[in-house]
Amino acid sequence: MKKSVASPTGRLLAGLAVTLAAVGVFSFYALRQMRGLEDLQTRTVDRNRKDSLQLLRIQNDLNELALAMRDMLVGDEPYPLHAWKPQFDRLRTDLNDALRLEAQLAPVQRDAGRQRYMADSLAQFWNSADRMFDVAQTDERAARILIRDTLQARQASLTSAVAASLVQNNETEQAAAARIQSIYLGVERNVYIFLAAMLVAIFCTTLYLIYSNRRLFQHLAAVSEHRSDLARKLITVQEETLHSLSRELHDEFGQVLTAIGAMLRRAEKRLPADSPFCADLREVREVAQSTLEKTRSLSQLMHPSVLDDGGLEKAIDWYLPVFEKQTGITVRYEKKGEGPQVTDRIAIHVYRVLQEALNNLARHSGSPLAVVRLQFPPGRLTLEVEDRGRGIPESRNGDSRKGIGMTAMRERAELLHGAFEVQRPGAGGTLVRLDVPLTDAYEQ
């Protein structure tokens, strides 16, 4: 037994699940990278830049203090040293505020000891400045010594610490920029890898679909071939059975009924003319004769002997008047061209299609007229059966006879390597057309 073709649905669903999982994993990865990038930009780069701005503010204030202390040491100004105190107070307020903000914005990488050092150094600087201004009230020379020996040293130390912090911030920002660039490159690379993987997956899925479709079509072709072979054998067996039954009815039952009629006739002759049995024998003989005629008619319907003796055209000439007589439908027969001798194998199928088409016409069309056309184009045979009635109705549940008849006609057309179609002409009714080749049309 030929192995059945497995459905590709399971593998396709598995491939879809893997693809969706890959899309989900990549989406999660991309979102995570984006969050990391956003965190890096907000927590590192942006904060680092804000912190650098505060350090530059502190550095600027320290430079102003340095310039003020230089002027105080030179002594070119006409006013005393304690007159500089308001400027120191203003810078003190700004430095304290800048240092407070810088402590809040300081990068997490910075050593906390450096922050404490800057805060302690600034506090010591202001303590020394306060002492200097107190001394300047009574002794400006001693105050200048404090500026030169203490305040300038503390200011230089603070300036160095701020410069070191600015350098560290610059290095941190460069490292963050390099990391951001690395993230961008990694995401870009992974996007390309993901797209390549998706293209490969789509390509493989397409190849698998093509492969599965080819297997499926090959299986369907094999099934169709087996079905056609089975239909050919069934139709062949059917025709052989009908032919055999036709011969049995004609030869056996026909001869028996003929013999019964002859015996009844002889028995009737032997009886006296006034015998009451004569009428009974005559009645029985009439029943036997009627049965004989019906048997012969049934035999001809099963397989007309004229088809074997005279061929397709003679069989059609014989069948159409019989159909008219049985149904009361007028048949107009049109033949065009002189065809070659049609083989028995082709003739029986064409004859059966004609029978089934006319039977459908009688059952469904309601037309009082049927047109039968037989044409012989070069190397082909065309049979048409047309009416002007209601036409063959659409297939309905429960009406299987029409479907079986149509299926049988199509099967016979396929066995003859021909074409079968049912049309609805513009004038109404139904047109059944059979077109078959006359050479190599059917193989046993």
Question: Per the structure block, which two tokens stand in for 396?
Answer: 């309905």
Q: Which helix H or strand E contains 177, and what residues bound it?
A: helix 152-247
Final residue before a domain boundary, out of 210, 230, 258 = 210
Q: Is 414 left (phi over 0), alpha (psi -120 to 50) or beta?
A: alpha
| Strand 330-336, strand 369-375: pairing | parallel
User: What is the pLDDT, as a whole number, of residue 385?
Assistant: 92
Examine the domain organization and report whether 199 and 311 are in the same domain. Answer: no
Residue 232 lies in a domain: no
Question: What is the domain count for the chain?
Answer: 2
170 and 319 housed in the same domain: no
CA distance 411 to 224: 11
**Cα angle 138-139-144, degrees, rounded to a multiple of 5:** 135
| CATH number for 37 | 1.20.120.1730
Please tell me whether residues 41 and 156 are part of one structural domain: yes
Do 324 and 204 sit in the same domain of this protein?
no
DSSP label of 332: E
Instruction: Judge whether 209 and 8 are in contact, CB under 8 Å.
Output: yes
| Residue 235 resides in a domain | no
203 and 315, same domain (yes or no): no
Please, where are the H alpha helices in 311-428? Answer: 312-327, 344-360, 400-415
20 and 140 together in one domain: yes
pLDDT at position 441, please? 47
Q: Which among 176, 193, 210 is the end of a domain?
A: 210
Identify whether residues 46 and 176 lie together within a single domain. Answer: yes
Residue 26: give the domain boundaries: 9-210
Residue 322 token pair: 């019989």
- At 420, is the secondary structure helix, strand, or coil? strand
Let me know if residue 430 belongs to a domain.
yes
Report if residue 367 sits inside a domain: yes
The answer to whether residue 160 is domain-embedded is yes
DSSP 210-247: HHHHHHHHHHHHHHHHHHHHHHHHHHHHHHHHHHHHHH
CATH code for the domain in which residue 384 is found: 3.30.565.10
Q: What is the dihedral of CA 53, 59, 61, 63, to 10 degrees?
A: -150
195 and 312 co-located in one domain: no
Strands (E), 55-202: none
Dig out the tokens for 314 from the structure.
């003679």
The CB density around residue 38, as the number of other CB atoms within 10 Å, is 10
Q: Is 243 within the bounds of a domain?
A: no
- Last-in-domain residue among 143, 175, 210: 210
Q: Are residues 313 and 184 in the same domain?
A: no
Residues 316 and 432 grouped into a single domain: yes
Q: Are 67 and 220 in contact (CB under 8 A)?
A: no
CB-based contact 350:383 (threshold 8 Å): yes
Strand partners, 149: none
Contact criterion met (CB below 8 Å) for 409 and 416: no
Task: Mark whether 83 and 203 lie in a shared domain.
Answer: yes
Q: What is the pLDDT of residue 97?
A: 92
Alpha carbons 163 and 168: distance in angstroms, whole number: 9
Instruction: Tell me, yes or no, whether 325 lies in a domain.
Output: yes
CA distance 353 to 432: 9
Token reading at 378: 């070069």
What is the amino acid identity at position 217?
F
Task: Tell me if 70 is assigned to some domain.
Answer: yes
pLDDT value at position 247?
Answer: 66
Residue with tokens 């989406």: 27
Look up residue 362 and give its DSSP letter. Answer: I
Q: Are 415 and 225 in contact (CB under 8 A)?
A: no
pLDDT tens-digit profile, the chain (444 residues): 445 556 677 777 777 787 788 788 878 777 777 777 777 666 677 777 888 898 899 899 999 989 988 888 887 777 788 888 899 999 999 999 988 888 888 776 677 777 888 888 889 989 998 998 898 888 888 888 988 889 889 889 889 988 988 888 888 778 777 877 787 787 788 888 888 888 888 888 888 888 888 888 888 888 877 776 776 777 677 666 766 676 666 666 667 777 777 777 777 677 776 677 777 777 787 787 777 777 766 766 666 777 777 788 888 888 888 888 888 899 999 888 776 778 877 888 888 899 888 888 888 888 889 999 998 888 889 999 998 887 655 554 434 345 677 888 888 888 888 899 988 876 778 899 999 998 754 444
Same domain, yes or no: 77 and 191 = yes
